[in-house]
Amino acid sequence: MRMLTLQRNSVSGALLRLARLYDVLAIARVTVGVCQTKECQDLSAVNVIGSRRGDYYNKTHLPLLMYKNAEVASPVSMADEDLLTLGRAAVVDPSWLGEPAAHSWAIRAGFTLTAKTKVEAEGTPPVETDPLGPAWNVHSMWDPADRSAAAAAGRHKWLQAVAYVFCRPPMALFVAADRARLCGSNSDDDGGAAPVGSPHQVVIYAATWTFDPDHKTNYSEGPPEQQNASALPHCAFSNTHEWNVKDTLVRPAWLLGHSSREINRQSAAEVALAQSLTPCAHALPGRDGEEAGPEPALTATTELPRIKWSTNVYYASMREVTRELAGRYNRSAWGVPPPGDPASATAIVLGIIVVLPEAIAIVALLLSTRVWGARDVGALAIIAIGGLISTAGLVWLTVEEAAGARWRGASLRDELTATLPGWGGAADVYRSLEGASLVRVQTLYLGARRGYRVGLLAGLTGAVGVAPRVEHLVCVMNAHAG
């Protein structure tokens, strides 16, 4: 899952599943960067996961990543996912990558996790529960450097939260294989769509997590102890107002098609790649004693929003889009034709009723015929053909139901936001982006229509189709005996 892959510039992620007319699963990943040039051609990625608090929160610099290839040092862009990836296993177990003190596999940012289930119904107040435990959302912070058993148990909560959202009934909607291994013995009965006339109900399953070198988010007992800032080398790549074409990053050939991958720490190529990525200090505009020109230097109040922001703000659009997609079909989002409506009770009853005359006719023919002649056999054949035609309607209804249950929609949104400093006075039409912070929110939406009863229809079709065939067999045996 690309959206669940940890990157060196990751600051947050979220899972949201909302069940209404459609069951919609949203997976989001938030990464950050900064503009080094006026037109922001670089989209430089900020090193979050491998930074200590002092490297990240200060008044002089931001920690970026420098990639050295053939003695050329280039900035790593936010789009270079093949260089930024740290895989998914590292979130559950930071020791997965060993003890990488010498290169960029180091994981130092703190990790916060919350999860909840919310049920909204007309006429009743919303009900929230915490699937990870009653006190988990209060003490949900841990330090990846902590190798204690308690910290390890806390880190595994992330995997539990992800599985919890994916494995809500019906699991078959979003878990295609290894369902028992991921979801255990949980029931897969969704209960179908709410019956007509019942109170409208919305069920929301959510999990959010953040990475923060400050180690304070949602941590009521204060931040854990952490080492002071290290002496990061200054970024050696060009930091002029024009993008330097010769600094364009050249990747190893084996990275092609391997962007969101798990890291194999035993691979010599992976180790060499990690060693070629070096954290470096990028000086903020207007520092080092120079006068800030027409664009003032960034202050502490404009630095912190690059890292610290409310997930309520950045995930608000995800929640609203998910709620909209769950309530009705949106062609502009899914881009494929809508699924058919689930079979109604009326259609199912009518499909059964049209088959009953065949069964009644066969019974009447069986009871009234003592000696089977050619006319009786012909009548039996006509009844059989009519019965097959009648059964075809129920078979088609089952096929349509199965097709609707297999329907899936997918939509990917990629949003990039630049936060500009608040300058006083009149603003020109053109404003330099140098020093602007960047937030990229990637969200994958998966949707499936609810309310299909494929098992029920398949069972009814089998029963309705088999019973008359048994009667035909009895008639044939009687005819042969006569």
* Contact (CB, 8 A) for 176 and 132: no
* Contact (CB, 8 A) for 426 and 353: no
Instruction: Tell me the percentage of the chain whose pLDDT exceeds 90.
Output: 9
Looking at the fold, whether 278 and 164 belong to one and the same domain comes out as yes
Looking at the fold, whether 109 and 179 belong to one and the same domain comes out as yes
- The domain of 73 spans 2-338+409-449
Over residues 227-283, the pLDDT tens digits come to: 455 678 888 875 444 555 444 567 777 887 777 788 888 888 888 888 888 888 888
User: Which of the listed ranges 168-177, 212-221, 224-233, 463-472 does the model predict with the highest average pLDDT?
Assistant: 168-177
* Contact (CB, 8 A) for 434 and 38: yes
Give alpha helix (H) positions in 103-148: none
Number of folded domains that form the chain = 2
What is d(CA 202, CA 124) in angstroms, rounded to the nearest whole number? 12
**Interacting residues of 246 by C-beta distance below 8 A, sequence separation 6+:** 72
Mean per-residue pLDDT, 162-178: 80
7 — pLDDT class (breaks 50, 70, 90):
very high
| Model confidence, pTM | 0.80
Pair of tokens at residue 255: 């990275």
36 — pLDDT class (breaks 50, 70, 90):
confident
Looking at the fold, whether 239 and 141 belong to one and the same domain comes out as yes
Burial 254-263 (b: 16+ CB within 10 A, else e): ebeeebbbeb
Between vectors from CA 14 to CA 303 and to CA 167, what angle results, nearest 5°?
A: 170
Residue 136: pLDDT over 80: no
Residue 191: pLDDT over 70: no
Distances (CA, A) of 18 to 14, 46, 130, 178, 325: 13, 32, 16, 23, 9
Question: Who wins on pLDDT, 182 or 232?
Answer: 232
Least confident stretch, 1-10, 83-92, 215-224: 215-224
342 upstream amide cis, omega within 30 of 0: no
Instruction: Tell me the percentage of the chain whose pLDDT exceeds 70.
Output: 66
Residue 459: pLDDT over 60: yes
What is d(CA 457, CA 341) in angstroms, rounded to the nearest whole number? 14
Residue 58: pLDDT over 60: yes
* Contact (CB, 8 A) for 89 and 1: no
Looking at the fold, whether 352 and 276 belong to one and the same domain comes out as no
Looking at the fold, whether 458 and 438 belong to one and the same domain comes out as no
Burial 359-380 (b: 16+ CB within 10 A, else e): bebbeebeeebeebeeebeebb
Residue 24: pLDDT over 90: yes
Collapsing DSSP to helix, strand or coil, 36 comes out as coil
Looking at the fold, whether 249 and 155 belong to one and the same domain comes out as yes
Looking at the fold, whether 250 and 359 belong to one and the same domain comes out as no
Looking at the fold, whether 311 and 371 belong to one and the same domain comes out as no
Residue 291 phi, psi dihedral angles, 5° rounding: -80, 135
Q: Is the dihedral of CA 262, 263, 267, 269 positive or negative?
A: positive
Pairing, β 277-283 against β 72-75:
unpaired
Mean per-residue pLDDT, 186-201: 51
Collapsing DSSP to helix, strand or coil, 251 comes out as coil
* Contact (CB, 8 A) for 263 and 270: yes
Residue 294: pLDDT over 50: no
What is d(CA 221, CA 43) in angstroms, rounded to the nearest whole number? 36
* Contact (CB, 8 A) for 98 and 265: yes
Question: Looking at residue 354, what is its pLDDT?
Answer: 72
* Contact (CB, 8 A) for 144 and 108: yes
Looking at the fold, whether 191 and 246 belong to one and the same domain comes out as yes
CA 435 to chain centre: 31
Pair of tokens at residue 259: 């962007």
Question: Looking at residue 186, what is its pLDDT?
Answer: 63
113 — pLDDT class (breaks 50, 70, 90):
confident
Residue 345 phi, psi dihedral angles, 5° rounding: -65, -35
Question: Looking at residue 477, what is its pLDDT?
Answer: 60
Looking at the fold, whether 389 and 437 belong to one and the same domain comes out as no
Over residues 395-440, the pLDDT tens digits come to: 888 889 899 988 999 999 998 888 776 554 455 667 778 878 888 8
Looking at the fold, whether 40 and 53 belong to one and the same domain comes out as yes
Looking at the fold, whether 350 and 419 belong to one and the same domain comes out as no
Least confident stretch, 29-43, 317-331, 425-439: 425-439
Question: Looking at residue 480, what is its pLDDT?
Answer: 56
197 — pLDDT class (breaks 50, 70, 90):
very low
